[in-house]
């Protein structure tokens, strides 16, 4: 194993995650932990893997699987990921007439990635903050989502990113994927959740460390009520 491969392997094994979930509550809370900040202490060991696309299934097979799957209590959820980091982009802001505002800005390319799934009908949601956006982290998120709603069957609508279609993706028994058409972010309401998070507390700010980025992200997600998520993610063709 080369030095570069060893560094990548170590980085993957030391991936950290933060858990934020809402399940029939007006505000979010960290599962089994006391507040968002304490979520930073959890770490898990993960195996190194590669990304490989799954072969397309026959339409008749997919239809038959979904018919058998939708018997019982089913929840339709939409899933997406977004990067939040120390790099900042100047945005418009208020200022006094005749003055030109000064906006802090830097270009440090360090990120953490938020994985989120929401149910537009009720506002229920599950979020994880992970170290990267890949198949390994997607497996972590799917396991947590499955455990959160272990008595339900989940139809999870998402885009066709490579980590959503990899051969090594571990899809729990109570989850089925429905892939949205290519290049249609407007069909995924979670995109608007990310926009709301950035608008609330990430505009024209710089962060000294990634931990501060995670703290802020946990705080903003915890501030999203069920009604807010329903309002943002609700679509006539969904509900």
At 59, phi and psi to the nearest 5?
-60, -35
**Which of the residue ranges 11-25, 105-119, 126-140 would you say has the lowest mean pLDDT?**
11-25
Which run of H or of E encompasses 78?
A: strand 74-85
How much is the pLDDT for 34? Answer: 32
Is the model's pLDDT at 45 over the cut of 60?
no
Mean of all residue pLDDT scores within the chain? 76
Fold entry, domain 12-233: Nucleotidyltransferase; domain 5 (3.30.420)
How much is the pLDDT for 16? Answer: 54
Nearest to 235 by CA among 195, 204, 191, 198: 191
Question: CA–CA separation, 201 vs 217, rounded Å?
Answer: 8
Comparison of pLDDT for 204 and 22, the residue scoring more: 204
Task: Give the mean pLDDT of 160-177.
Answer: 94
Which residue stretches of the chain are H helix?
A: 3-13, 59-69, 135-148, 190-201, 210-222, 226-233
Ramachandran region of residue 24, left (φ > 0), alpha (ψ -120 to 50) or beta? left
Residues across the chain: 239
Highest mean predicted confidence (pLDDT) among 66-70, 102-106, 150-154: 150-154
Structural domain boundaries in the chain: 12-233
């Amino acid at each position: 194993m080369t030095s570069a491969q060893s560094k990548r392997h170590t980085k993957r094994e030391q991936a950290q995650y933060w858990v934020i979930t809402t399940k029939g509550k007006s505000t979010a809370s960290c599962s089994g932990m006391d507040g968002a900040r304490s979520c930073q202490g959890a770490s898990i060991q993960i195996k190194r893997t590669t990304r490989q696309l799954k072969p397309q299934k026959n339409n008749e097979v997919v239809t038959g699987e979904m018919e058998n799957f939708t018997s019982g209590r089913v929840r339709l959820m939409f899933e997406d990921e977004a990067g939040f980091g120390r790099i900042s982009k100047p945005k418009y802001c208020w200022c006094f007439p005749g003055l030109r505002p000064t906006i802090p800005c830097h270009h440090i390319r360090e990120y953490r990635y938020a994985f989120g799934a929401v149910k537009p009908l009720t506002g229920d949601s599950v979020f994880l903050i992970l170290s990267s956006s890949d198949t390994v982290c997607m497996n972590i998120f799917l396991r947590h989502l499955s455990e959160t709603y272990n008595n339900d069957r989940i139809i999870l609508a998402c885009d066709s990113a490579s980590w959503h279609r990899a051969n090594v993706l571990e899809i729990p028994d109570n989850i089925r994927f429905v892939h949205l058409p290519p290049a249609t972010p407007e069909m995924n309401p979670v995109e608007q959740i990310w926009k709301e998070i950035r608008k609330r507390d990430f505009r024209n700010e710089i962060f000294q460390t990634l931990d501060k980025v995670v703290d802020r992200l946990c705080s903003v997600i915890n501030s999203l009520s069920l009604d807010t998520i329903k309002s943002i993610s609700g679509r006539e063709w969904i509900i």
